[in-house]
Structure 1
Amino acid sequence: MLNFELEGEAKERYTIVRSYNYGNELNIYKVHKKNDSETHYMLKSYKTREDFERESQMLRELHGAKNIVQMINVYPLQSIIVCESALYDLEIFLHRQNNIQRQEEKGNIIKDMVSGLLELQKHNIVHVELRPKNIMYFQEKDGHTESWKLIYFDTACFVGSYYSYNAKIKLNYSAPEVVIANEKKIKIKADFAMDMFSFGLILYFLETGYHYWDGENEEKKEEIISTKYLPLRNIGPDHTACYVIKSLLDKSIPHRMTLEGFIQTSYYISESSKQKKLTNINNNKFEPDDEIIEEELQAKLTQEVQENYHYELFNVLDKNFMLNSIQCQNSISNYNGFNKFYKKRLTYLLEYIFKILSEVIENANASGKKHFRTNDFMEIAQKLREHYYGFKLQINDVQNIQFISILKNQVHLYNRLLWLIVRYCSVKDHDVNNSLAKKTSILYRDIIEINSTIKAGKSFNSHLSKLIIALESRDNKKIQCELNRFADDPYLNLYSDDDTDITLSRWYYVIDPVYRKTPVTFTEIESREEIFVKINLTLNNIIFTRKSLKYLNYKTHLCVIKEITLYNDHHFNDNNYIIKFHGYSIQHCKCNLIYDYADYGDLFEYFQGNPNSSKHFHLNNWKNKIRLAWGISVGVKYLHNQKIVHLDLRSENILLKYDEKEKTLMPKISNFLWSREIYPGKTSAYPIITLSSGEEVWKRWYDPDRLRNKKRFKPSTPSDIYSLGLLFWEITWRKPNNLPFKDVPIKNLYNHLLNNHYEELPGLPEGYRDWGNIIKNMWKFKAEERCNIMTAELSMRKLFNDTDSEIQHNSN
């Protein structure tokens, strides 16, 4: 007897077959459409509106994603969703397999799980409750297409948002930080590392056939939440599998193996290649007298897998270290066998450390301060150069990964020193408001850190020298012993757990000296003073824009780091309406940020051009204005979904690139120096910028609350909505030098708004008049009366689609 009945439109379309008795709350039902009883679907009901909204939002984000269950219909009134139907889950499947069968199937299972996890990370989603029960086997209608997919997203979170205690979650596959958060009922920031720990426990289950923790055993639970390594047993003779699973189950989040790192391992390459290789063999059409020699075929497969592994490993490492793409391509194209390629790539990584150290020396010299001890770093660099010229590699895969981890720590160390130099110069030269005591305190801390870094550099060279001697002996025990001493040296792991250091290292770009500066032309614009120094660079025949702040001080220094971190943590580069960030360099004690080149400049600059010229005619018609405004709202929606407020939305921060396919301009949101994450307790720096003109023109886009409460202002999404309304106003007029409330001094602007004085909108054509109502709902005086970004974006999309349909109808 079912205790659940369909209502309304869902009842008209679907018939419940039976309850699956499945799900955390036994709320899953098997259904079919009224007109198709052969095709079954999975219907899920929810006890709380919050769970329904969370899962339906996640599945909308993941629409079309590979190896993710797909939502077919959603019925908000009854809080139910309908998804494609699975046959069974991974736990049931593996309990029916013996060890041999598990080993045969695990390649496909791992490949599909990795594909699903890649999709989650692409969409900035953390599953949080990844476990065998939530991985299910699906078969398409054709009866041949089969795959494993990730299901259940009612506890999923966006990266960077806060995961809260949830009594429904089964914790036996959860990361230790999730278990502790549930026990203490506290909030923690969602991170991909949560899923990677769960993934490690699933691999343990795949390899052994047993759960590491059943969710009940208190001793096992203590092992999970303690800081000690898990005592893994019964994984079998495959040492690579053991190493990989241990790396995924690392209790230290910064040290835990990432998905990208897992994909690089020989364990993944070999497992995911097995089925592919066998399929290729089975598809070959052999003649009856063809003779296949099994040993030769197996040897060929092993060689191909090994070569593919090392090719992919170092291809990914090049991206991690932001190496010069031309050099990478030359190295790969000159590949003449496995040993030569393998040796050359690690030598190149050592050379990369040398290059960063060289940039430390150049910037220390540029600072003009002796306390950076340039001579000591020059001595370390010279010794390092001698070592990497004579370096010969003869280590196994596990040792190779261990050595790369050591190299990464050294990169973090020298990159941190570069930022220390930038910070010192910003305080010394430009931050006149800082007291002598503060400057002395910073100098004292710097001297301690510089001394520690010098010790680390000398210790690194000493260990490297001993490792080279061990390598020459070809004694694997000696090599492993030296590697262990190398890895455990406390001087080399000073800041290895610092997330910000790791992020900054990841995006650092060693600028190749062979690049061209291309001229940057700016239109003379009244009442505009540039905050950034901009230079266009041509690298590998591609134009990029490099910009650095004109006004350097301690606050703006922190804001530059904040912008890099936001791009990294929230994957801004995945959104088409945010300008792509390619990394940064540090030269002459200044940080230079490198972005996509915007061939049409920024929106404010674009408005200054002659609207009838060949370059400036794109926004002459209302259709293109609507398209542009809608694109900006899509970008802002992405930010607000990530719990980020931009706080500086205005025409100067909207860059324009020409879209060849659509034959129109594509908006790109830029400049996140003012942006804030709006989590409880989250603090962040604002830049301090003083213009020679004296007017802080950006404040003309501030909402009333921000104008009134300058220091006590609490960032919130309605502030962005107000600014976005004024930005839309700029687009409707499309006039040069058109500032909001241009004739009102900024100090009087709050009172001007308090008296219900708004900007006037131009006369809008009949088909576009709804835009005026949208704008008026965005710039209302009271924050609580403004529409949210979901409403604004949906309204702009509808307006664009409606007018597009009307244009097509009229053209017919």
Structure 2
Amino acid sequence: MSTIELEGEAKEQYTVINDYNYGSELNVYKAYKKDDPECHYVIKSYKTKETFERESQMLRELHDTKNIVQIVDVYLSQSIIVCECALYDLETFLVHQDHIQRQEKIDSIIKDIISGLSELQKHNIVHTALAPKNIMYFQEKDGYTESWKLIDFSAACFVGSYYSYNAKIKLNYSAPEVIIANEKKIKIKVDFTMDMFSFGLILYFLETGHHYWDGVSEEKKEEILSTKYLPLRIHDPNACCVIKSLLSKNISRRMPLDKFMRTPYYTGESTNLSDYEINEEASQSNSTSVSRPNSTSLSRPNSTYLSPLRISNISNLSQDSFVAENWNYSKFEIKNLTDPLDSYHALEYVFKVLGEVIENVVGSGRKHFRKDDIMEIAQKMRGHLKSFKHQNWDNNDQKVKFISILKNQVHLYNRFLWLVVRYCAVKDRVVNSSLAKKTSILCRDILEINSIIKAGKSFNSHLSKLIMALKDQNNDKIQSELSNFAEDPCLDVRFDDDSNITLSLSRWYCVTSQIYSDYIGTPSTEIEVRGEIFVTKKLFFNDIFATGKSLNYLNYKTFLCIIKEISFYNDHQLNDNDFIIRFHGYSIQHCKCNLFYDCADYGDLFEYFQNNHNSSEHFYLSKWINKIKLAWGISIGVKYLHNQKIVHLDLRSENILLKYDEKEETLMPKISNFLWSREIYSGKTSAYPIITLSSGEEVWKRWYDPDRLRNKKRYDFLPPSDIYSLGLLFWEIAWCKPKNLPFKDVPIKNLYNHLTYNNYEKLPEFPDEYQCWGFLINGMWKLKAEDRCNIMTVELSMRKLFKANSEIVRRMKYTVHGTFKVICQWKITVYFKECGEEMEWEKIDQQFAIEYRMHIQKNESHDVIQKYYALNTEFETRVKEENRELDVTNINEKRAGKSPIDRVQEEIEDE
């Protein structure tokens, strides 16, 4: 039996023991680390890059989750993943157990599977190939801790994405819709219900000891695909009812995970089974039980699917769907009398935010967040939301007042979310957080949490009374209840810090239904980019491409920096400037904040220098005029910041993103990353990130001005600091070459002393018309801050430099194009006469368009321009001569295989 040949770093780290004889392609191997032969691992290889990227992405997303196999190493060059090693799978285990032995183990097995499924749903992941073979028994290194874990995520998908045909998956545990998709080789939208059907078949296997369908029997397959309920023969009535509900063919009626977790089968409590039974006749009389998609709906998701509105999976709350397909939640904060006032959807939005509070509270695992109380509030609010949906309310003044109450409640629940994030930022992970700080924050949290929960209960009480008044259609009673609602002091919760920050954070919050991760259809972008500071990944946000960004390092300082960046965008309208990256909002998931920005087509400027520095495309930076335009755009963005009394403090190529401007046909710079930024002369935004790098070098300090390098704590952060960094950024643009860091041969610890001796970076040789740019840069990186020019001078100089040279280039292009037109028309005229055809100007114009496009696609250098000037006189003379003396000749040349038009094109190529 063959084994994999490890290469490179993988070979240095691991030794393969033998083929594990596992996986659909027998591509799983057992190995051990060379420095620890006693500890075994599993190495999985892949035949396709797409499958490798898919599984590695999913396992990274599920890192440190319970009852999910954990990834240990990834080797991109060989497309292999190293994971922890299991003892055996569930199918192998149960084959050797009798009924009594199975019943003894079944509770612990189910609890572990449910824990794994809960983690998947928290991360919006659907396994799609859940089966006993993909549930394995693991023993931790301590030799005592044991658990069942879900494995094999090579076919997993994110909720809302599209599942594609997969020939390698055995379908005997798949949902009917998955089987149909595979048979017809079509795509279907992924949903949690797929895994719940598979889970139902696994429960059947646990209860009976045999598979419902072995994957071969056509009779059993037809039973699964039919609209009828599966004939189950299970002695335990609890189990029978639950499994029957899980195996419902009607997807909308299939039991969700949170409802299963409340069943007596799972909890062991005694209750009325009729709550979980399904009326078979009623169900079958409804619409089609199994969605059978057709090939017309299988391409990339359209706008309806780009932002699927997913109800958050809230433990102990049912997944009743309150979906607002046409209501934009991002406009919640700007509703006024001139907008459509949809009070139901506004209330639903509050409920969604509350649901996300619960998800994060559960994820934090901290008791002081009072999970049970907040879930009770959500349960009652769900009932009120159902009742409120059917009320008629035509008074716009009253609805405006009600929405203002809802806004306040969103502020409170959003505050709760930030309390969770803040606590996770200062708890045991951060060594520098003292016990006193943790205790102080904990006390503050408890006081605020108590106030928010009290406000939530009071909110529900008033909402119930308002619904009763609306049912009675008594306007005076409605007005009275609204007044009591708005004036309740319990809802007017005040916090110690800046209330304006609390409001701005609430305004920019995005519920998860606005976000859709489009990884599966684009394997090349599927793996998130994990940089030194940020983790970034592409996604859909409200139907547009966006970039999601989160911090690698979670501590109290970075927590404050995130809030600072959101506040800058809110208070200083940074989205109003075309040269600052547009901010769309943020979400809080898994106790972490994710920020959403415009997607930069060409990445960041540093990345550009590494990959595209020699490109000949007309808009690339190989041309000096494009360098000038890019630098001018950056200076406009910095000028806007300084006018807003903000200093950026981290201007370097990695923080300049590039978008392609189709109108201007050029790369447009976008300033990003305001974690280090601060308001001038203000102490309230003075937080700076604390980051420890594995490389040991804080590379961004190479752009620091000398005073900041010397003494950060006593340094006044003023605009001259940005000017110095901007000078070094211009130096990067002027050179436009890879691996070009400022003073890269000087250790950062010695950099200040190096600068005090008036050591500057060497500038490239500028063309004559751009010499003044070099003079400007020399004036920007002066040692003393007071000697540097200001941003007004920089921006004005770059503007004049660009406009003066762009006008020259424009005139040269105009002259060249005019000369070329004369040449082309003469050659085409000659061609028609040689072929003995009449000179129809329509044909000549068509042929000229072909020739002219060929010319436009060429790179116009000064050499080409001079050639055209030289040729112009010669061709004018020849045109006059040929017009007098030309006769119809060389017609046979066309018949010989080489037409005059071929010769024309060759001549153009030569010229």
TM-score range, shorter chain: 0.5 to 0.7
Alignment of 1:611-626 (within 5 A): 611-613=613-615, 618-626=620-628
Residue 507 (structure 1) aligned with residue 508 (structure 2): yes
Match of 2:169 in 1: none
| RMSD, matched Cα | 2.7
Out of 735, 748, 755, the residue aligned to residue 753 of structure 1 is: 755
Residue 356 (structure 1) aligned with residue 353 (structure 2): yes
Per-residue CA deviation, residues 119-153 of structure 1 (Å, 9 max, x unaligned), is xxxxxxxxxxxxxxxxxxxxxxxxxxxxxxxxxxx
Match of 1:367 in 2: 364
Per-residue CA deviation, residues 719-754 of structure 1 (Å, 9 max, x unaligned), is 000000000000011111110000101111111000
Whole-Å separation in 1 of the counterparts to 2:330 and 2:427: 43
Query: How has the CA–CA distance of structure 1 residues 523 and 327 changed in structure 2, closer, same or farther, with 3 Å as cutoff?
Result: closer
State the one-letter code of the partner of 1:654: I
Post-superposition shift, 1:620?
Answer: 0.6
Post-superposition shift, 1:396?
Answer: 2.5
| Contact 2:564/2:685, CA 8 A, preserved across alignment | no
SS of 1:671's partner is coil
Residue 692 (structure 1) aligned with residue 694 (structure 2): yes
Whole-Å separation in 1 of the counterparts to 2:785 and 2:515: 51
| Contact 2:619/2:666, CA 8 A, preserved across alignment | no
Query: How has the CA–CA distance of structure 1 residues 661 and 429 changed in structure 2, closer, same or farther, with 3 Å as cutoff?
Result: farther
SS of 2:518's partner is strand
Post-superposition shift, 1:810?
Answer: 3.2
Query: Which runs of 5 or more residues in structure 2 are unaligned?
Result: 1-308, 310-321, 332-338, 816-911
Out of 790, 793, 803, the residue aligned to residue 792 of structure 2 is: 790
Alignment of 1:714-793 (within 5 A): 714-793=716-795
SS of 2:690's partner is coil
Match of 2:651 in 1: 649
SS of 1:618's partner is coil
Query: How has the CA–CA distance of structure 1 residues 520 and 430 changed in structure 2, closer, same or farther, with 3 Å as cutoff?
Result: farther
Post-superposition shift, 1:328?
Answer: 2.1
Post-superposition shift, 1:805?
Answer: 1.9
Whole-Å separation in 1 of the counterparts to 2:324 and 2:780: 45
Whole-Å separation in 2 of the counterparts to 1:810 and 1:478: 77
Alignment of 1:45-124 (within 5 A): none
Post-superposition shift, 1:488?
Answer: 1.1
State the one-letter code of the partner of 1:384: M
Match of 1:295 in 2: none
Post-superposition shift, 1:495?
Answer: 3.3
Alignment of 1:452-531 (within 5 A): 452-495=451-494, 498-512=499-513, 515-518=516-519, 529-531=531-533
Residue 673 (structure 1) aligned with residue 675 (structure 2): yes
| Contact 1:324/1:512, CA 8 A, preserved across alignment | no
TM-score computed with the length of structure 2 as normaliser: 0.51
State the one-letter code of the partner of 2:646: I
Query: How has the CA–CA distance of structure 1 residues 583 and 366 changed in structure 2, closer, same or farther, with 3 Å as cutoff?
Result: same
| Contact 2:619/2:626, CA 8 A, preserved across alignment | no
Residue 380 (structure 1) aligned with residue 377 (structure 2): yes
Per-residue CA deviation, residues 338-361 of structure 1 (Å, 9 max, x unaligned), is xxx978x21111111110000000
State the one-letter code of the partner of 2:480: C
Match of 1:551 in 2: 553
Whole-Å separation in 2 of the counterparts to 1:729 and 1:469: 69
SS of 1:620's partner is coil
Match of 2:416 in 1: 417
Displacement over 6 Å in runs of 4+: 329-332, 520-524, 614-617
Whole-Å separation in 1 of the counterparts to 2:701 and 2:654: 13
Query: How has the CA–CA distance of structure 1 residues 577 and 330 changed in structure 2, closer, same or farther, with 3 Å as cutoff?
Result: closer
Query: How has the CA–CA distance of structure 1 residues 557 and 619 changed in structure 2, closer, same or farther, with 3 Å as cutoff?
Result: same
Match of 2:562 in 1: 560
Post-superposition shift, 1:393?
Answer: 4.2
Alignment of 1:124-163 (within 5 A): none
Match of 1:637 in 2: 639
| Contact 1:517/1:535, CA 8 A, preserved across alignment | no
| Contact 2:343/2:399, CA 8 A, preserved across alignment | no
State the one-letter code of the partner of 2:517: R
Post-superposition shift, 1:769?
Answer: 0.7
State the one-letter code of the partner of 1:505: S
SS of 2:758's partner is coil
Query: How has the CA–CA distance of structure 1 residues 612 and 709 changed in structure 2, closer, same or farther, with 3 Å as cutoff?
Result: closer
Query: How has the CA–CA distance of structure 1 residues 485 and 702 changed in structure 2, closer, same or farther, with 3 Å as cutoff?
Result: same
Match of 2:582 in 1: 580
Match of 1:259 in 2: none
Whole-Å separation in 2 of the counterparts to 1:387 and 1:472: 12
Match of 1:404 in 2: 403
Match of 2:164 in 1: none
State the one-letter code of the partner of 1:364: V
Query: How has the CA–CA distance of structure 1 residues 645 and 693 changed in structure 2, closer, same or farther, with 3 Å as cutoff?
Result: same
Whole-Å separation in 2 of the counterparts to 1:683 and 1:584: 19
The number of residue pairs the alignment matches comes to 479
| Contact 2:330/2:510, CA 8 A, preserved across alignment | no
Post-superposition shift, 1:394?
Answer: 3.1
Query: How has the CA–CA distance of structure 1 residues 620 and 791 changed in structure 2, closer, same or farther, with 3 Å as cutoff?
Result: same
State the one-letter code of the partner of 1:799: L
| Contact 1:520/1:535, CA 8 A, preserved across alignment | no
| Contact 2:625/2:805, CA 8 A, preserved across alignment | yes
Greater CA deviation, 504-513 or 765-774?
A: 504-513
Query: How has the CA–CA distance of structure 1 residues 443 and 406 changed in structure 2, closer, same or farther, with 3 Å as cutoff?
Result: same
Q: Percent identity?
A: 67
Per-residue CA deviation, residues 2-23 of structure 1 (Å, 9 max, x unaligned), is xxxxxxxxxxxxxxxxxxxxxx
Per-residue CA deviation, residues 42-78 of structure 1 (Å, 9 max, x unaligned), is xxxxxxxxxxxxxxxxxxxxxxxxxxxxxxxxxxxxx
Post-superposition shift, 1:693?
Answer: 0.8
Whole-Å separation in 1 of the counterparts to 2:328 and 2:561: 35
Whole-Å separation in 1 of the counterparts to 2:428 and 2:617: 41
SS of 1:777's partner is helix
Whole-Å separation in 1 of the counterparts to 2:419 and 2:803: 51
Post-superposition shift, 1:330?
Answer: 13
Residue 532 (structure 1) aligned with residue 534 (structure 2): yes
Per-residue CA deviation, residues 400-446 of structure 1 (Å, 9 max, x unaligned), is 22211111110000000000000000101432111111101111111
Whole-Å separation in 1 of the counterparts to 2:539 and 2:428: 28
Post-superposition shift, 1:513?
Answer: 7.3
Query: How has the CA–CA distance of structure 1 residues 523 and 799 changed in structure 2, closer, same or farther, with 3 Å as cutoff?
Result: farther
Whole-Å separation in 1 of the counterparts to 2:523 and 2:764: 33
Whole-Å separation in 1 of the counterparts to 2:672 and 2:515: 27
Whole-Å separation in 1 of the counterparts to 2:438 and 2:809: 63
Post-superposition shift, 1:574?
Answer: 0.7
| Contact 2:706/2:755, CA 8 A, preserved across alignment | yes
Post-superposition shift, 1:473?
Answer: 2.4
Whole-Å separation in 2 of the counterparts to 1:434 and 1:464: 42
Match of 1:658 in 2: 660
Query: How has the CA–CA distance of structure 1 residues 572 and 394 changed in structure 2, closer, same or farther, with 3 Å as cutoff?
Result: same
Post-superposition shift, 1:378?
Answer: 1.1
| Contact 2:515/2:539, CA 8 A, preserved across alignment | no
State the one-letter code of the partner of 2:643: N
Alignment of 1:597-616 (within 5 A): 597-613=599-615
SS of 1:619's partner is coil
Post-superposition shift, 1:664?
Answer: 1.0
Whole-Å separation in 2 of the counterparts to 1:798 and 1:669: 22
Query: How has the CA–CA distance of structure 1 residues 330 and 580 changed in structure 2, closer, same or farther, with 3 Å as cutoff?
Result: closer
Whole-Å separation in 2 of the counterparts to 1:472 and 1:550: 51
| Contact 2:466/2:478, CA 8 A, preserved across alignment | yes
Query: How has the CA–CA distance of structure 1 residues 771 and 507 changed in structure 2, closer, same or farther, with 3 Å as cutoff?
Result: same
TM-score computed with the length of structure 1 as normaliser: 0.57
Whole-Å separation in 2 of the counterparts to 1:329 and 1:508: 13
